[in-house]
Amino acid sequence: MTTLLLIRHGESEANRDGFFAGQTDVELLSKGIEQAEKTGEYIAENYKIDKVYASDLKRAYKTGEIIAALSNAEIFPEKGLREIYAGKWQQKKFEELVEEYKEGYSVWLNDIGCCTTPDGESVKELSGRVLKALTKIANDNEGKTIAIATHATPIRAVQCLIEYSDLDRMKDVPWVSNASVTELAYSEGRWELVKAGRDEHLSSLKTTFPANV
């Protein structure tokens, strides 16, 4: 069995400023670095990490670097772990999306599994891309424990696919908090969700999306 720990990146500039980052390459905030350190300590205390893979976007890769350092593990960039490419929505404030893209953004808010971003990826395309990357990582590291630094939508989509087999119920799967840990088990082509969105170790450092995401 292979264990994959999916870690959402720490708090970023986009999280603080309330805009849709997508694949915009924003930095971690100092609080995000502190969150990543707390999560890195939690992981080092509870798991023996063999490798770390991370989205190549700065906010996730920096999170992965911190986790890797605390577990004395090597880190590898993986473009397939990136956040959704959101086209015209990228860098837009969430309140602007509610006004300018009422119909499309309403689908994002209320039936996210069926959403396609304007001039960007659909959530279905995202889920296929991310699951392909995770499956390759799992197959390449059979029997090992791997930390994966990635983003909120990839984690939500993959969790939904594992729990419900499709994306129809993704609207019922909550967003995970920054620097939370979601544990997956993989064996002989089958995925199992072990723990979702563990963030107790963050205590007062915990941060989440606002209601308009």
Report, as residue numbers or ranges, the catalytic residues: 9, 83
Question: Do 2 and 144 touch, CB atoms closer than 8 A?
Answer: yes
Pairing of strands 2-8, 181-187: antiparallel
Question: Do 61 and 55 touch, CB atoms closer than 8 A?
Answer: yes
Give the start-end residues of each E strand in the chain: 2-8, 51-54, 74-77, 145-150, 181-187, 190-198
Task: Write the burial class of residue 103 (CB in 10 Å: 0-12 exposed, 13-18 middle, 19+ buried).
Answer: exposed
Measure the CA–CA gap between 44 and 66, rounded to whole angstroms.
11
The candidate with the shortest Cα–Cα distance to 61, out of 10, 19, 137, 3, is 10
